[in-house]
Amino acid sequence: MTSECIECSLHPSKPAHFQCNECSSAFCSECIVQRQDFQNGQMETNYICPFCNIPADPVGVGNLLEPFWTRMPKFFTYPLQTTPLILAVVLSLLAIIFPHSLIVWLICFIVSTKYAYAILTHTAQGRLTPPSASTELFNSDVSQVFKQYVIFALFFFIFSLLFGWIGIICGGLFALVSFLMMPGMLMMLVTTNSILVAINPFVVIPVISRIGGRYFLMLVFLILLPAGPAALLYYVPAALPAVITLFLTALLKHYYTFISYNLMGYVLLQYHEEIGYDVDYDDFIESTQPGKKKKKITPEQARLHHIDILIKGGRHEAALEMVREELSDNREDVKDDVTLSEKYYDLLKVCQKRQGIIKHGPEHLRLLISSNNKLKAIKVYEELAADKEIIIPIESGLAVGKWLYKRGDYKRARVCFTRCIKENPKHAKLPEAYYPIIRLFNEHFNNPAQARKIGKGVLRTYPKHPLAEKVQQYLKTIG
């Protein structure tokens, strides 16, 4: 990325896709909030700043691209992809099969130029793969191609006049300036589709100045690019048949042309904001990820994502309010949502909302237990148990105590069962807490007398409980 790259405020190593005008925060595609709504009869995606909850603006796809000077190998391999390679080979074969046919030469020239110009516009729109060589492409409007050669012819005509009437120095200076401005003029032709705008120095020169020194770096590449094909032709053995040399000459000419137009299109894409050329963000993302279908996001998913980004950005109070609104809707899909409940519980702790924890904590513990999330349930239970004002339902306490008992964590299990008994002194489920305590005293705490005492109390108080017979049988095993 360039040194001017805007990075995501939450992922500093990632380039930003959007920026908020209100808070100046920047967001990558993972952090921006997407909301899909029907507008003008079709589904539209709106990109929302998660902090300000207002639409954010794209920073420009140029921010997402690697600089053109770092991807030169990709420019060289671009014409070697299937469509441009086949087209270049076919056109080169026609050149050697019909070497003296003006009509064939003209057709090959138009097709090659049309495809090269299609590469330029295709790349400038953010499509980094070659355009398909469809009949639609070649049957479509070719005016831009001819406008390009009108510009060439116009400048050659002016050069001839200056060279013939004023002299070689003036003509040479005009030719040099025209050469330096030509890539900029072609890019303006793509942008405006107007010859008058493209040849207007008061338009082209400011565009070149906005791109800066990197424009001339592109120009250097455009000058050096033909050196490779020229050197290859220079070292082709003279013994090769003339037809092979002619074929290679034509093939390399097409190869260089496709590379040059791909490079100019990429520069136009990279600096489209400086030039004033509109590139649709959604089209660019879709074209660079052709195998990835655009995912439909429900309003619920968008809100959950919004909450996550607020948490990641440290906006805990705002995230807490959003979660509270979600839970207050009493929708069936969120009523037993453990993930949403956990977010709410964690945010209550971070924001130190003790009354909220007292109210929500036991419900969150119930959800964790029902989802069999043992580790988190034990942790939350002990956090809640540390606050004497929080009333934990006996069902939750018994479930946690049994898990601790099975894990062999007998001291913590005993504390858990004891709390169940103290907080629910007359509850019908208490034998479920007493029975493991009896076993703990006898088997692990070396206190069979206390085990017998508790067991006899259970038999007196709960003689008809399903566990009473089990307690009686166990008492007989105590020595």
CA distances from 280 to 14, 30, 141, 353, 399 (A): 20, 19, 22, 45, 56
Taking the C-alpha atoms of residue 369 and residue 402, their distance in angstroms, rounded to an integer, is: 12
pLDDT of residue 229: 63
Tell me the per-residue pLDDT of 259-291, one tens digit each, with 9 for 90 and over. 988 998 898 888 887 777 777 777 777 666 655
Q: What is the mean pLDDT of residues 2-8?
A: 71
In one letter, which amino acid is 290? P
pLDDT at residue 450 greater than cutoff 70: yes
**Residue 327 confidence class, pLDDT cut points 50, 70, 90:** confident
Q: What is the mean pLDDT of residues 198-216?
A: 86
Higher pLDDT, 439 or 158: 439
Question: Could you tell me if residue 12 is left (phi over 0), alpha (psi between -120 and 50 degrees) or otherwise beta?
Answer: alpha
pLDDT band at 2 (very low <50, low <70, confident <90, very high): very low
pTM of the model: 0.64
Residue tagged 């020239």 (tokens)? 109
Supply 364's token pair: 């969150």
Q: How far is CA 250 from CA 94, 101, 108, 232, 419, in A?
A: 10, 15, 10, 13, 90
Kindly list the distances between the CA atom of residue 332 and the CA atoms of 299, 324, 326, 328, 358, in Å, as whole numbers in the listed order: 15, 15, 11, 11, 23
Structure tokens at 168: 């070689």
Residue 57 three-state SS: strand
Please tell me the predicted confidence (pLDDT) of residue 182. Answer: 85
Beta-carbon contacts of 409 under 8 Å, excluding residues fewer than 6 positions away, are none
Q: How confident is the model at residue 179 (pLDDT cuts 50, 70, 90)?
A: confident
134 or 183, higher pLDDT: 183
Could you give the count of Cα atoms lying within 13 Å of 443 in the half-sphere of its Cβ? 14
Please give the pLDDT value at position 3: 46
Round to whole Å and give the CA distance between 119 and 128: 9
Asked if pLDDT for residue 26 goes beyond 70, the answer is: yes
Per-residue model confidence (pLDDT) at position 5: 79
Closest listed residue to residue 283, CA positions, set 272, 267, 298: 272
In whole angstroms, give the CA distance from residue 121 to residue 330: 52
Percent of the chain with pLDDT over 90: 28
Q: What is the pLDDT of residues 163-175, one digit of tens each?
A: 777 778 887 888 8
Instruction: Supply the mean pLDDT for the chain.
Output: 84
What is the average per-residue pLDDT within 431-436?
92
Q: How confident is the model at residue 397 (pLDDT cuts 50, 70, 90)?
A: very high
Report the greatest alpha carbon distance in the chain.
Answer: 127
Residue 13 binned pLDDT confidence (cut-offs 50, 70, 90): confident
Q: Domain-by-domain residue ranges, the chain?
A: 18-59, 68-287, 408-479
- pLDDT at residue 1 in the model: 41
Per-residue pLDDT tens over the stretch 348-385? 999 999 999 999 999 999 999 999 999 999 999 999 99
